[in-house]
Amino acid sequence: MASSSAAVRLIEEAMNRRRFSAALGAFSLASALRGPALAQVWPERPIRLIVPFPPGGGTDVISRQLAERMAANTGWTIVVENRAGAGGNIGLDAVAKAAPDGYTIGMGQASNLAINPALYALVKWGTIVRDIGLRID
């Protein structure tokens, strides 16, 4: 009886090897026939870094240094765009209204992201707050 169970086990192992070989062959054939995967090139255009303060200030200097290092490390083209006025509200409003395609980055500070929504009734940073994961009630 023991020899018959050993024979059955050997037959089952052989069938499992055949199934595995057939599956591996089918996978290899499907992979070869599908062709190469073409990756999308990103970014297709320059990335905008919107600074909500005038040129020459501390935030602008830091933003330009950040953009320069990001460009050097990634090879991307990053354009720094100053949108000053209203305590940073104009620049961050432009960021909030930009298309959600990843080509616009906003430089924010505690004054624009946390304090201005409490001071100005018309400031709605819902999209910016959602994108960076802050919660402002």
pLDDT tens-digit readout, 112-126: 877 887 787 777 665
Query: Is residue 109 domain-shared with residue 54, that is, in the same domain?
Result: yes
Same domain membership, residue 54 and residue 98: yes
Which structure tokens are listed for 121?
């009734």
Strands in 47-51's sheet, in edge-to-edge order, are 78-82, 47-51, 104-106
> Do 95 and 51 have their domain in common?
yes
Between CA 132 and CA 68, with CA 93 as vertex, the angle to 5 degrees is 65
Please check the confidence at residue 50 and state whether its pLDDT lies above 60.
Answer: yes
Average pLDDT, the chain: 79
In a domain, 137, yes or no: no
What's the CATH number where 112 sits? Answer: 3.40.190.150
Same domain, 52 and 111: yes
90 is a domain residue: yes
Boundaries of domain holding 20: 1-38
90 and 127: one domain? yes
Q: Are residues 76 and 122 in the same domain?
A: yes
pLDDT tens digits, 71-82: 999 999 999 999
Number of domains in the chain: 2
Q: How many CB atoms lie within 10 A of CB 120?
A: 12
Question: Is the domain of 78 the same as that of 97?
Answer: yes
Residue 33 shares a structural domain with residue 64: no
Same domain, 117 and 78: yes
CA distance 120 to 104: 24
d(CA 70, CA 3): 70
Residues 58 and 89 in one domain: yes
pLDDT for 133: 52
Q: What percent of the chain has pLDDT over 70?
A: 70
- The pLDDT assigned to 102 comes to 87
